[in-house]
């Protein structure tokens, strides 16, 4: 009994440490982009790849590594991911050109995919269903803590020690997580040891998703993006046809076809991230370009949203253990829709207290949505599919983030044009921001129905055979 309690404690500690890494790194590095550009004298387009390359690599490898973890062992893949994240963080700190930094960020993205493709699956394997919502809520709270500390701690490190210190600091956390995994996590979790790995399916998936996400992200800036987008769509169609015929697919599409809880929970997550991820980016432009605030003041104002997320996520996860996760997450989506709708009326004269209160409302809505929705996804599949379920949810998150930024890029390009932000007319920037929030609010409103449509109980694969 004591051994089980110790395993649970260290598993949660390890998963939370790993879950802190990626959001902290993302938000801290975004703050350091100007410093990186100044040191390497890089163009804005090239600098954008410092962030984009990481997201693309993470999304492309999440499902392939999640499936591999189900076969060879989730702990093995998790450890390799943390080790890869540590090594690439050190290399990023030593990078002597922006091209080298981008290459190391790709490796970091692959390591992140291995972590996120297994972390939630390991938690779900160790904790029983009646405790699952609570621990997933704590894990999500750790993600938001990383998001909260990223701008603050990253800004301090960048200001006093330079941008490489952000990568060195993160590498120390990754190294701690690795040694904790090696010394404290006994046993292994693999629900599909007897099955073969689908290498062709994994290659088609990675190629198609990278092309699709790149096309979406660059559609407003590159004349070739629409062709790459079409190519990615065609490759993913080929992937779907192939996966439906193979005996042991890298992504069991029957999960989406027969399991409405799994399918609609993932769809709701995709819509939610598509509608919310770029909110911080938009408000950062609003505060700094329109109102003239500095980055430090802007960071502290925006901090209100992730802080309330971190505080409420454990409560929301625990609530979803007692109440239907569908209802809790749908209420969260509803509150998020209301918050986005209020921002549709944003202008130069909007009181600062109202913006902060609305950020708290958005944070509350997202906390109520995220943990219960994760609980719903992980509770809707058999143990053999925990890695795939975790990876699919992570892919929805990353793809939603890419779509969210693509919407912002497209609409701001239509309103403001291809000019430097310092030269952008404030009134046009406000109009573009308000239009973007209208689109986000409509998206999130549709997400309420996707959240409700999932049904009450897992269906399909928990009773039916997983393959043809």
User: What CATH number has the domain bearing residue 312?
Assistant: 1.20.1250.20
Residue 466 pLDDT exceeds 90: no
> Would you state the pLDDT for residue 162?
85
Q: Are 254 and 467 spatial neighbours (Cβ–Cβ below 8 Å)?
A: yes
- Proportion of the chain above pLDDT 90, given as a percent: 19
Long-range CB pairs of 328-331, under 8 A, 24+ apart, other chains included: 328/368, 328/372, 329/265, 329/268, 329/368, 329/369, 329/370, 329/372, 329/373, 329/376, 329/451, 330/448, 330/451, 330/452, 331/368
Give the span between the Cα atoms of 325 and 308, in whole angstroms. 20
Residue 183 pLDDT exceeds 50: yes
**For the chain, how long is the longest CA-to-CA vector?**
65
If you average pLDDT over residues 191-196, what whole number do you get?
A: 70
For the segment 391-422, what is each residue's pLDDT rounded down to a tens digit? Answer: 778 778 877 877 887 787 778 777 776 555 45
Residue 461 pLDDT exceeds 70: no
Residue 446 pLDDT exceeds 70: yes
Residue 134 lies in a domain: yes
3-state secondary structure (DSSP) of residue 48:
helix
Residue 375 sits in the same domain as residue 317: yes
Residue 336 sits in the same domain as residue 421: yes
The b-or-e profile of 327-345 (16+ CB within 10 A means b, else e) is ebbbbbbbbbbebbbbbbe
> Would you state the pLDDT for residue 460?
43
> Would you state the pLDDT for residue 364?
93
Tell me which range, 29-43, 77-91, 397-411, is most confidently predicted by mean pLDDT. 77-91
> Would you state the pLDDT for residue 455?
65
Residue 231 sits in the same domain as residue 144: no
Of residues 304 and 405, the one with the higher pLDDT is 304
> Would you state the pLDDT for residue 237?
92
Residue 408 sits in the same domain as residue 427: yes
> Would you state the pLDDT for residue 388?
72
> Would you state the pLDDT for residue 457?
52
328 lies in which domain range?
252-459
Long-range CB pairs of 231-235, under 8 A, 24+ apart, other chains included: 232/207, 232/208, 233/208, 234/208, 235/204, 235/207, 235/208, 235/211
Number of domains in the chain: 3
Residue 465 pLDDT exceeds 70: no
Residue 261 sits in the same domain as residue 211: no
Instruction: Write out the two tokens for 299.
Output: 């960071």
Q: Are 122 and 189 spatial neighbours (Cβ–Cβ below 8 Å)?
A: yes
Residue 344 pLDDT exceeds 70: yes
Helices 352-378 and 119-126 pack at an angle, to 10 degrees, of 60
> Would you state the pLDDT for residue 306?
80
If you average pLDDT over residues 179-185, what whole number do you get?
A: 82
If you average pLDDT over residues 364-387, what whole number do you get?
A: 81
3-state secondary structure (DSSP) of residue 245:
coil
Residue 466 lies in a domain: no
Give the span between the Cα atoms of 117 and 120, in whole angstroms. 7
Of residues 18 and 189, the one with the higher pLDDT is 18
Residue 175 sits in the same domain as residue 60: yes
Residue 369 lies in a domain: yes
> Would you state the pLDDT for residue 62?
83
3-state secondary structure (DSSP) of residue 344:
coil
For the segment 219-255, what is each residue's pLDDT rounded down to a tens digit? Answer: 766 788 889 989 999 999 999 888 888 888 887 777 7
Residue 11 lies in a domain: yes
Residue-averaged pLDDT of the chain: 81
Instruction: Write out the two tokens for 113.
Output: 């995919």
Residue 38 sits in the same domain as residue 181: yes
Residue 375 lies in a domain: yes
pTM for the full predicted model: 0.76
Q: How big is the chain, counted in residues? A: 468
Residue 396 lies in a domain: yes
Q: Residue 198: which pLDDT band, with cuts at 50, 70 and 90? A: confident
């Amino acid at each position: 009994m004591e051994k089980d309690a110790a395993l649970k404690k260290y598993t949660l500690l390890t998963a939370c440490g790993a879950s802190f890494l990626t959001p902290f790194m993302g938000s801290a590095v975004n703050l350091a982009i100007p410093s990186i550009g100044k040191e390497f004298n890089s163009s804005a387009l090239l600098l954008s790849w410092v962030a984009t390359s990481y997201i693309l690599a993470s999304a492309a490898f999440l499902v392939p590594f999640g499936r591999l973890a189900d076969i060879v062992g989730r702990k093995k893949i998790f450890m390799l991911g943390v080790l890869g994240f540590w090594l690439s963080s050190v290399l990023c700190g030593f990078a002597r050109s922006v091209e080298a930094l981008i290459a190391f960020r790709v490796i970091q993205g692959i390591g992140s995919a291995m972590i996120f493709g297994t972390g939630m699956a390991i938690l779900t394997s160790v904790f029983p269903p009646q405790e699952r919502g609570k621990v997933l809520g704590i894990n999500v709270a750790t993600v938001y803590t990383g998001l909260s500390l990223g701008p603050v701690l990253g800004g301090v490190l960048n200001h006093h020690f330079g941008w490489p210190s952000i990568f060195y600091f993160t590498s120390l956390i990754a190294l701690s997580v690795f040694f904790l995994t090696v010394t404290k996590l006994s046993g292994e979790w693999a629900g599909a040891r007897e099955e073969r790995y689908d290498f062709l399916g994994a290659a088609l998936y990675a190629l198609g998703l990278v092309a699709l996400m790149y096309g979406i992200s660059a559609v407003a800036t590159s004349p070739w993006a629409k062709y790459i987008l079409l190519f990615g769509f065609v490759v993913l169609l080929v992937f779907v046809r192939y996966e439906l015929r193979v005996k042991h697919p890298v992504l069991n599409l029957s999960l989406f076809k027969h399991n409405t809880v799994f399918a609609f929970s993932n769809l709701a997550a995709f819509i939610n991230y598509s509608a919310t991820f770029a909110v911080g980016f938009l408000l950062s432009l609003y505060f700094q370009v329109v109102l003239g605030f500095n980055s430090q003041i802007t960071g502290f104002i925006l901090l209100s949203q992730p802080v309330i997320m971190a505080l409420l996520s454990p409560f929301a996860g625990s609530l979803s253990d007692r109440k239907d996760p569908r209802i809790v997450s749908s209420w969260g989506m509803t509150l998020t829709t209301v918050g986005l709708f209020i921002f549709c009326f944003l202008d130069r004269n909007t009181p600062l207290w109202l913006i902060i209160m609305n950020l708290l409302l958005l944070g509350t809505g997202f906390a109520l949505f995220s943990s219960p929705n994760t609980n719903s996804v992980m509770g809707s599949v058999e143990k053999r599919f925990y890695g795939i379920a975790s990876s699919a949810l992570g892919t929805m998150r990353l793809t939603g983030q890419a779509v969210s930024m693509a919407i912002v890029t497209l609409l701001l390009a239509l309103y403001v044009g291809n000019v430097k932000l310092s030269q952008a007319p404030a009134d046009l920037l406000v109009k573009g921001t308000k239009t973007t929030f209208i689109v986000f609010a409509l998206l999130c409103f549709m997400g309420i129905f996707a959240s409700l449509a999932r049904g009450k109980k897992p269906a399909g694969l928990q009773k039916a055979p997983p393959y043809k």
